[in-house]
Amino acid sequence: MLFNLKKTKKYSYIEEGEGVPIVLLHGLMGELSNFELLTQYFSRIGYKVYAPELPIYSFPILNTNVTNFAKFVSRFIKDVVGEPAILVGNSLGGHLGLITTIKNPELVRALCLTGSSGLYEKSFGESFPKRSSYEYVLKKTQEVFYDPNVATKEIVDDVFETINDRKKAIKTLYIARSAIKTNLKEELNLIKAPVCLIWGKQDNVTPPEVAEEFKEEISDSTLYWIDKCGHAPMMEHPEKFNELLAGWLREKNIVPS
């Protein structure tokens, strides 16, 4: 990734462009590079794009849960962004965006969810029975995408390293279980901010019915589908994703002045 990473005592993040703030929230196995083309595009058309590294593996084990990660996101918006932002979250990042929007609505101008947890998701499971098997990790990582070639060796190597690191593997399970327990169905009606749902039609992790349920439960929501696309539309079809999100922001008049 060609962007410079800013580092303070509390945060490590990307900051690009000037204008309306967008905060990008990556998934459990995600990286800031997952949003590379989104960052390039929106930072050039009048938005200021922030992408914080989430403290997935740096919190103490007892604090390793979605509630505390969402609090981290709220602190980041207050401390670094300094004004209400558009949140864009994939997978776990979407879950954190939902909690932030529900608990701290004053910090959120709009929310975009793509392959978001919060209702239901499939994951590696409650354990990693073949965590030493590279072929197993390759297969599971490829299943995230419609096109298995999107699962590059670099991506697979990162996942393989994570689940073969005992401390990271344990925290990964804690987070996965926390996400399952923190089901937001009964709280989605509290969301008043406009919500954009961009979903892969072939998402095997958070299947299409999850997107439909989000659409049904969130009053001001718009659902867009991307065909031949899995769990990470901003990676598999970045141009289409950017087009849909930018068009939706124009419809909602959340645009540079």
Q: What is the mean pLDDT of the chain?
A: 92
pTM of the model: 0.93
List, for residues 137-148, the tens digit of each pLDDT value: 888 888 899 999
List, for residues 172-210, the tens digit of each pLDDT value: 888 988 999 999 999 999 999 999 999 999 999 999 999
Of all residues in the chain, what percent are helix, strand and coil, respectively (each to 5)? Answer: 45, 20, 35
DSSP string, 94-127: HHHHHHHHHH-GGGEEEEEEES--SS----S-SS
Q: Are 86 and 17 in contact (CB under 8 A)?
A: no
Average pLDDT over residues 87-101: 97
Going by C-alpha positions, the residue among 123, 57, 246, 100 that lies closest to residue 255 is: 246
Nearest-angstrom CA–CA distance, 73 and 217 = 23
Q: Are 55 and 69 in contact (CB under 8 A)?
A: yes
CATH of domain 5-121+183-251: 3.40.50.1820
Query: What is the structure's pLDDT at 206?
Result: 95
Query: What is the structure's pLDDT at 136?
Result: 83
